[in-house]
Chains A and B, each alone.
Chain A
């Protein structure tokens, strides 16, 4: 099936089996292996990318569904010499160990800050109307879809708090 995907600002013409997920399209067809496969079932968050600015599990998204939408992967957020503020904060706070969940954590965190800015409540928000303050508990809850078996969680929260604080 012919499809055109816009990834990190550039277009890619692909001819894909309709069963190909966005995650496999990125990893196997486009060589963008920054997005990771931890479960392929929407249960771990390692494959998190941004589609039109919102975080999604690329393993639960078929590639052909993404035509006409803008996909941003970890490679689109920054590169080793030019890291985004979130990527830098993860290095500084040791917000990872093995690094396998990390691109997903960073994409997720980047979009999560935007959601909070727009006033989305979460399971731990006391008040559903007003804009939630990004406490540690709010950050932890909003990041609980991204598993980290190395359990770098406290450091991940530190990193996000750092970025959220400086953006405030």
Chain B
């Protein structure tokens, strides 16, 4: 094979060539079914804990049952005396906290100290899973509990880092002098990512000291560094494989305790070790989303134009953790308001580590901002859509940066039309028996991010293309869209492109997180293909501008060759390297949309059923209409969970997670999900990525819960400010509305 060519691009200026519009295979945007689909539906796709090399031993984690203190002893002798037990492992390299996304270094380590209830403190390895489990669950542990455990949010010490505060103009004066205003506080509960595949790792070491870890991780280029650092070995000595990942949603951004535990045990035992976290371990020992308290102060002039916007929030995390739920992500740019205050307080508690869960910041942040906007619309006497449209800023209200593509107003208008918004009535006016029906709206917005990414593309002798990158597909559709991009660029039908992912031996992709996968790794594939096309031109002796590639043929002027002929026995390979650049400072870039929800609220029980939802989104170029739609649907249903059911409960006495299983932590089930309509308003964003796409994986959850909260208000006049809106809270509100005479008791069934 000839030497691999490298094509680099750093995004310091917009790429207005729109390369994907110049090609002619016709794959981009099409609703191509996933190439990985047949393996998934037939059960042959292998996830992390499923390929067990000969002689694999089974490990089960031991958890701490205090909130803070020292582990005085693990009764290793009794455990190893039990049948089939091969060893007990612990130590200062064990992870205490899971790694945050993109950490690129080991997280807090050391199993002898306990920082939260449920923290992994050891690993029992046995010949069989049953042997290891029994010994782990009966392990004798003694502690020296600390007397200063901080488990109660109300008494916890807090910090207000300067970098996370903003004070512009004079919000107090603006509020005092405003024509209209609201000053309301919203609270949300902690959530869990709860991916269906629990975290699992299979570790094996070879004679040269190279560790191969089959894991369930989202960002392998970072995970490799984190794991190597945790183990104290060179990054080059670690290979991570994750061709299929059973969901991540943030919880698999950074390495979790099982990866390090499995690696340590496998090294000591000189045999492969698999550690699959139990569902309970996942709830307690991987990251959670912080609970939030958010005071919203919004005020307008007489025309409903925002003059002030305040967003003061409180979140929590373990002492020393740098991550804190960035609730004001969209607050910075979504609406007007020259007087602005953003406050951020982090309470330090000995509770499971907080980190990124799908749309960190926006998901709970927009529950508050978008419900507060609904309240503001009412005091202004404006339709909530009109209020939002009047407050779309001309430039970023804090630093004056111009916006990239932004179809927020268009999404709201299109949605209003499709949803039948004009039929919305006043609260309490639409009734079907004991059900009160209401509609709600919310804006959707998610900051557009990109990340460094590389991918290699090889045009092979048989006229097919191979794409290689350590990028992951966590359900997002990476296999599909990279197939489409390579097929489009090289003129190949989808079945002549092979995409291989999830192996750190391949060039490092962006990883899956922050909705940046498609725009970043997709750009890398596009760049690699451009270089391959140039090589094809050289071989054919034609100008790049004259080349057309379609259906496995390369054509220029009078020349027409099959790709097999062009390649001969010398495959053409190129690597594309994409880097974000200064365009991220030159433009405010985000994906936008509008959420609509119709709910039925039972006046007798307070139960809320979502009857239908609509999401209208604009996220740059839509690469695959089918997988994009699925991403949006998934996010919107997460919004149902956030608005109505999900609540990770911590015991205020010792901080333990009370509902650490799927029976007690309520993710939405099939019957909770109504019919959902999705529409895309297409646009091309030249400033973010050379393929003109923007992030879409998290957009669906940004604002969908608020549309539901607003629909509840429209149904029954009850304003829920403490999410989730469980029946007890809704019913209490209904009773007070009835007592105040604002809601008829509705007995005329």
Q: State yes or no: do A and B come from one complex.
A: yes
Q: Determine whether B47 belongs to the interface, using a CB cutoff of 8 Å to chain A.
A: yes
Closest Cβ of chain A to B280, distance in Å, is 9
Query: Which residues of chain A are near B198, meaning CB under 8 Å?
Result: 37-39
- Name B197's contact: one of A36, A91, A156 (CB within 8 Å): A36
Binary interface encoding of chain B residues 492-508 relative to chain A, with 1 for a CB under 8 A from any of its CBs, else 0: 00000000000000000
Given known pairs A28-B129, A74-B42, A153-B637, the reply for A43 and B662 (CB within 8 Å) is: yes
Partner of B130, one of A20, A91, A103, A146: A20
Task: Considering the complex, give the chain B residue whose CB is closest to the CB of A137.
Answer: B671
Task: Give the residues in chain A near B673, CB-CB below 8 Å.
Answer: 140, 151, 153-154
> For window 9-33 of chain A, which residues contact chain B by CB distance below 8 Å?
17, 19-20, 24, 27-28, 32-33
Given known contacts A37-B198, A150-B634, A151-B668, is B474 in contact with A98 (CB within 8 Å)?
Answer: yes
Does A69 have its Cβ within 8 Å of any Cβ on chain B? Answer: no
Determine whether A57 belongs to the interface, using a CB cutoff of 8 Å to chain B.
no
* Closest residue of B by beta carbon distance from A90: B41
B197→A144 contact, CB < 8 A: no
* Set of chain A residues within 8 Å of B131, measured between Cβ atoms: 17
The answer, yes or no, to whether B246 is at the interface (CB within 8 Å) is yes
> Are A99 and B244 in contact, CB atoms less than 8 angstroms apart?
yes
Q: B631 → chain A, closest Cβ, in Å?
A: 8
Which residues from chain B contact A20 at a C-beta distance below 8 Å?
128, 130
Interface range on chain B: under 10, 10 to 19, 20 to 34, or 35 or more?
35 or more
B676 interface residue (CB < 8 Å to A): yes
| A103 partner residues in chain B, CB cutoff 8 A | 41, 43
Contact A73 B43 (CB under 8 A): yes
Contact yes or no, A149 B129, CB < 8 A: no
Q: Which of B32-40, B334-342, B541-549 contacts A (4 or more CB under 8 A)?
A: B32-40
Asked if B196 and A80 sit within 8 Å, CB to CB, the answer is no
Q: Is the CB of A38 within 8 A of B279?
A: yes
| Contact flag A36-B663 (CB < 8 Å), given A27-B50, A100-B47, A151-B668 | no
Once A37-B276, A146-B670, A149-B247 are accepted as A-B contacts, the answer to whether A136 and B41 lie under 8 Å apart by CB is no
The minimal Cβ–Cβ distance linking A166 to chain B, given in whole angstroms, is 17
B196 touching A36 by the CB < 8 A rule? yes
Judging by beta carbons under 8 Å apart, are A80 and B42 in contact?
Answer: yes
A33-B46, A98-B474, A156-B670 given; A19·B637 CB < 8 A? no
Q: Is the CB of B670 within 8 A of A140?
A: yes
List of B residues within 8 angstroms of A102 by Cβ: 40-41, 43
B41-A43 in contact (CB<8A): no
Contacts of A145 in B (CB 8 A): 669
Residues on B with C-beta less than 8 A from A41 are: 279, 661-663
The answer to whether A98 touches B42, judged by C-beta atoms less than 8 angstroms apart, is no
Does chain B have a CB within 8 A of A92?
yes
Q: Using Cβ atoms and an 8 Å threshold, which residues of chain B touch A87?
A: 38, 41-42
A106 contacts B41, C-beta separation under 8 Å: yes
Do A149 and B34 have beta carbons less than 8 Å apart? no
Asked, given contacts A44-B196, A78-B42, A100-B196, whether A17 binds B128 with beta carbons under 8 Å apart, the answer is: yes
B5-59 with Cβ < 8 A to chain A: 33-34, 36-47, 50-52
> B671 to A83, Cβ gap below 8 A?
no
Chain A-chain B contacts (Cβ-Cβ < 8 Å), number: 189
Interface residues of A in 55-92 (CB under 8 A from B): 73-75, 77-81, 83, 87-88, 90-92
Contact A143 B670 (CB under 8 A): yes
B46 neighbours in A (Cβ, 8 Å): 33
How many of A's residues come within 8 Å of B, CB to CB? 64
User: Are the C-beta atoms of B43 and A140 separated by less than 8 Å?
Assistant: no
What per-residue 1/0 map shows which CB atoms of B456-494 lie under 8 Å from chain A? 000000000000000000111100000000000000000
Closest to B674 in A: A154
Q: Is the CB of B633 within 8 A of A154?
A: yes
Query: Closest B-chain residue to A155, C-beta based?
Result: B630
B44 and A24 form a contact (CB under 8 A) = no
The reply to whether the CB of A147 lies closer than 8 angstroms to some CB of chain B is yes
Cβ-based interface call for A52 (8 A): no
Q: Is the CB of A36 within 8 A of B42?
A: no
Within the complex, what minimum Cβ distance (angstroms) separates A65 from chain B?
A: 16
Cα–Cα, bound, A106→B663 (Å):
21
Find chain A residues with CB under 8 A from B39 CB.
80, 99
Q: Is the CB of A154 within 8 A of B476?
A: no
Task: Contacts A83-B38, A98-B196, A136-B675 given; indicate if A75 touches B670 (C-beta within 8 A).
Answer: no
B638 at the interface (CB under 8 A from A): yes
In the bound assembly, the distance between CA atoms of A136 and B612 in angstroms comes to 13
Q: Which residues of A contact B276 (CB under 8 A)?
A: 37
| Interfacial chain A residues near B247, Cβ < 8 Å | 97-98, 100, 149-150
B34, A91: Cβ atoms closer than 8 Å:
yes
Tell which of A27, A43, A151 touches B634, judged by Cβ atoms closer than 8 Å: A151
A27 CA / B475 CA spacing, docked (Å): 22
Q: A40-B278, A74-B42, A83-B38 known; A141 and B245 CB under 8 Å?
A: no
- Shortest distance between the CB of A106 and any CB in chain B (Å): 6
Contact A33 B671 (CB under 8 A): no
**A46 contacts partner chain B, Cβ-Cβ < 8 Å:** yes
Within 8 A of B (CB), among A110-168: 124, 136-137, 139-141, 143-157
Residues of B within 8 A of A79 (CB): 42, 44
The residue of chain A having its C-beta at the shortest distance from the C-beta of B131 within the complex is: A17
CB 8 Å contact bits of B621-662 with A (1 = contact, 0 = none): 000001101110111111000000000000000000000011
Cα of A63 to Cα of B634 in the assembled complex, Å: 35
B51 vs chain A, min Cβ distance (A): 8
On whether A99 and B36 interact (CB within 8 A), knowing A34-B43, A149-B195, the answer reads yes
Complex: chain B residue closest to A157, CB-CB? B670
B194 lies within 8 A of chain A by Cβ: yes
Among B656-705, those with CB < 8 Å from A are 661-663, 667-673, 675-676
Tell me if A101 is interfacial: C-beta within 8 Å of chain B.
yes
Provide the bound-state CA to CA distance between A106 and B477, in Å: 20
Name which of B46, B47, B661, B662 has the most chain A CB atoms within 10 A of its CB. B662
CA distance A24 to B671 in the complex (A): 29
Name the residue of chain B whose CB is nearest to the CB of A20: B130
- Contacts of B626 on A, CB cut-off 8 Å? 94
Which residues of A are found within 8 Å of B130, using beta-carbon distances? 17, 19-20, 24
- Evaluate whether A147 and B662 lie within 8 angstroms (CB atoms) in the complex, with A39-B279, A40-B278, A83-B38 already known: yes
Separation in Å of the B331 CB from the closest CB of chain A? 26
Shortest Cβ-Cβ A-B pairs, 3 listed: A34-B43, A100-B246, A98-B475
Interface residues of A (CB under 8 A from B): 17, 19-20, 24, 27-28, 32-41, 43-44, 46, 73-75, 77-81, 83, 87-88, 90-92, 94, 96-103, 106, 124, 136-137, 139-141, 143-157
A-B residue pairs in contact (CB < 8 Å), sample of 22 = A17-B128, A19-B134, A33-B51, A35-B43, A37-B276, A38-B196, A43-B663, A74-B41, A75-B44, A81-B38, A91-B38, A94-B33, A94-B629, A96-B475, A98-B475, A140-B671, A144-B669, A144-B670, A147-B667, A150-B247, A151-B668, A155-B630
15 further A-B pairs in the complex, CB-CB below 8 A; given A17-B131, A143-B670 = A28-B52, A36-B246, A43-B661, A80-B38, A94-B626, A98-B246, A98-B247, A98-B474, A100-B195, A106-B41, A140-B670, A145-B669, A148-B196, A149-B196, A155-B633
